[in-house]
């Protein structure tokens, strides 16, 4: 049991005492972080340390995806091209209509002397890392403060709202997904215009809170951001209602929704930056 | 006396293996692979605590715990507390654990890893909010399997047959 060089009598603290000391330090860490948010510097340090590593380690899967893409079937590509061309034609028509509406809207706004809506700048970002989603669902993007990101900006993919930037480092940033617990998104029902509050419930789902029992809402309804929080621009698709149920005990409906954006799939996302802040930079 | 204690304890190996564990966790894991990903760093720290308790212990565990907290975007201290508890349990059961072959060691490690994960769960529950699901317990399995593979590898590396009990 006693190895050479080992003291026969302990001169240092026993394991139990050391455990208690470290537990104390750990608990104070939790308190300092939760209550006072005083450990952001440590977070930035870790992010600076790990970001290059993550970027390098992302390469193998990128190469694999490239190789997979290289061997894609010719027929498949042709089919995809045809579909894209058709969609492009459809979108071009929409763009013309939108331009016309934009001009008209600007004129009407000047007539009514309303403030013009803020323009938007977009930053392309790719998912760099994803941690465990036990308590909060977060992803790390490969763009950060250097690209003009700030805490609170909305993040979207091609289909809908992905989440909100919650932590910004110089070269990367953390995004809390809409499906994350405690993450609230003000929305309205596209079909009826009824406003509400969508809250993440974890496990890649959302629920629409505080909907009175007589509300007209049914499975299949789309929820869009309402824009009244001045965080998200209005009209970004968020989720689709999947189940509506009534409970005896609560005066509210239980409305479950599935997020539209590919929260666990999409690797490329856009961060929307409202223009005014950008011009003042 | 265990083979690993005599030969495999240089700082190069310790730091190299822990760095490798950190690198493995930085891979872009997603979906099921992420849910089942063993906690490489925890296994590494506990392994070296078992074999080199003079070099790797509470402080190292606490540091790597903070790193794990950063990775998951969790509260600082959540994994740190849990890892420290894990180190304590390994130190407590050290002489017993050293007598077992890799498979039995892994079986004995299972409750320790479970305790660590339950500590993560508990601290997160108290500090942030209830967890989304119990998938937090999945890595316990895979970590125990990883421990078996690592212990087996080390034993074979040092030229001991499986049947030869220490």
CA A251 to centroid of chain Cα atoms:
31
CB-nearest to B72 from A25, A34, A131 is A131
In DSSP notation, A259-272 reads ESS-TTT--EEEEE
Phi-psi label, residue A167: left if phi above 0, alpha if psi -120 to 50, beta otherwise: beta
Contact residues, chain B, for A46 at CB < 8 Å: 66-67, 70
Other beta carbons within 10 Å of B35: 17
Name, of A45-49, B87-91, B123-127, B131-135, the range with top average pLDDT.
Answer: B87-91
Which region among A61-70, A132-141, A147-156, B23-32 has the lowest average model confidence (pLDDT)? Answer: A61-70
Average pLDDT over residues A117-137: 81
- Check CB contact of A55 with chain B, cutoff 8 Å: no
Contacts of A201 in chain B (CB under 8 A): 132
Show which of residues 212-271 on chain A sit within 8 Å of chain B, judged by CB atoms.
264
The two tokens of residue B60 are 């190292």
Q: How far apart are CA A78 and CA A65, in angstroms?
A: 19
pLDDT at A62 over 60: yes
3-state secondary structure of A240: strand
Distance CA A89, CA A85 (A): 6
- How does pLDDT run across B101-160, given as a tens digit for each residue? 899 999 999 999 999 999 999 998 888 778 777 888 899 999 999 999 999 988 888 765
CB < 8 Å to B129, chain A: 135, 181-182
A2 secondary structure, DSSP code: P
A230-269 confidence digits (pLDDT tens):
788 888 899 999 999 988 888 888 999 999 988 777 778 8
Alpha carbon distance A177, A194 (integer Å): 23
* Residue B72: partners with Cβ closer than 8 Å, 6 or more residues away: A131, A132, A134, A135, A138, B79
| ipTM surpasses cut 0.90 | no
Among candidate residues A130, A126, A164, the one with its CA nearest the CA of residue A142: A126
Per residue in B17-65, pLDDT (tens digit) is: 999 999 999 888 888 888 899 999 999 999 999 999 988 989 999 999 9
Is residue A32 pLDDT above 60, yes or no? yes
Taking the Cβ of residue A44 and every Cβ of chain B, the question of whether any pair is shorter than 8 Å is answered with no
Supply the pLDDT for residue B44. 95
Number of Cα atoms under 13 Å in the Cβ half of residue B155: 21
Q: What's the number of CA atoms in the CB half-sphere (13 Å) around residue A248?
A: 0
Q: Tell me which DSSP letter residue A154 carries.
A: E
DSSP codes joined into one string, A104-135: HHHHHHHHHTPPPPP-EEEEEEEEEEE---SS
How distant is the alpha carbon of residue B112 from its chain centre?
A: 9
> Comparing C-alpha atoms, which of B87, B131, B139 is closest to residue B114?
B139
The residue ranking higher by pLDDT, B75 or A266, is B75
Confidence (pLDDT) at B162: 47
Q: Which of A19, A52, A135 to mutate to test the interface with B (most CBs of B within 10 A)?
A: A135
What confidence score (pLDDT) does residue B5 get?
A: 47
Name the A residues in 144-203 with CB < 8 Å from any B CB: 167, 174, 181-182, 201-203
Instruction: Give Rg (Cα) of chain A.
Output: 25
Question: Is pLDDT larger for residue B45 or for residue B1?
Answer: B45
Predicted pLDDT at B94: 92
Among all chains, which residue has been given the structure tokens 């977070």? A43
First to last CA, chain A: 67
Q: What percent of chain A has pLDDT over 90?
A: 33
């Amino acid at each position: 049991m006693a190895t050479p060089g080992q003291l026969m009598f302990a001169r240092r603290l026993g394991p139990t005492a050391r455990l208690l000391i470290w537990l104390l330090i750990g608990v104070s860490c939790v308190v300092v972080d939760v209550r006072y948010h005083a450990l952001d510097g440590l977070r930035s340090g870790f992010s600076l340390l790990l970001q290059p590593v993550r970027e390098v380690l992302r390469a193998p899967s990128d190469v694999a995806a490239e190789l997979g893409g290289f061997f894609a079937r010719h027929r498949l590509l042709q089919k995809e091209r045809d579909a894209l061309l058709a969609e492009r034609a459809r979108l071009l028509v929409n763009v013309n209509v939108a331009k016309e509406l934009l001009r008209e809207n600007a004129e009407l706004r000047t007539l009514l002397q309303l403030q013009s809506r803020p323009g938007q700048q977009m930053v392309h970002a790719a998912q760099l890392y994803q941690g465990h989603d036990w308590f909060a669902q977060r992803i790390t993007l490969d763009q950060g403060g250097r690209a003009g990101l700030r805490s609170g900006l909305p993040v979207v993919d091609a289909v809908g709202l992905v989440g909100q930037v919650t932590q910004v480092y110089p070269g990367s940033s953390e995004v809390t997904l809409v499906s994350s617990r405690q993450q609230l998104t003000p929305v309205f029902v596209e079909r009826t215009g009824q406003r509400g509050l969508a809250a993440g419930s974890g496990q890649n789902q959302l629920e629409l809170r505080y909907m009175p029992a007589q509300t007209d809402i049914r499975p299949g309804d789309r929820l869009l951001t309402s824009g009244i929080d001045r965080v998200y621009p209005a009209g970004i698709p968020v989720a689709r209602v999947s189940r509506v149920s009534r409970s005896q005990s609560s005066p509210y409906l239980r409305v479950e929704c599935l997020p539209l954006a590919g929260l666990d799939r999409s690797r490329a996302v856009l961060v929307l930056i409202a223009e005014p802040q950008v011009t003042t930079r | 006396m265990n083979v690993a204690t005599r030969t495999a304890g240089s700082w190069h190996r310790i730091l190299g293996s822990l760095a490798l564990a950190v690198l493995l966790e930085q891979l872009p894991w997603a979906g099921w692979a992420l849910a089942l990903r063993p906690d490489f760093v925890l296994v590494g720290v506990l392994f070296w605590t078992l074999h080199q308790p003079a070099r790797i212990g509470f402080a190292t565990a606490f540091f790597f715990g903070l790193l794990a907290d950063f990775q998951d975007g969790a509260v600082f201290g959540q994994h740190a507390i849990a890892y420290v508890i894990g180190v304590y349990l390994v130190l407590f059961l050290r002489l017993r654990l050293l007598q077992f072959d890799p498979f039995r060691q892994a079986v004995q490690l299972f409750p320790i890893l479970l305790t660590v994960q339950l500590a993560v769960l508990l601290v997160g529950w108290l500090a942030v909010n209830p967890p989304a699901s119990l998938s937090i317990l999945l890595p316990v399995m895979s970590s125990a399997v990883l421990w078996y593979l690592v212990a087996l590898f080390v034993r074979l590396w040092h030229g001991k047959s499986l049947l030869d009990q220490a």
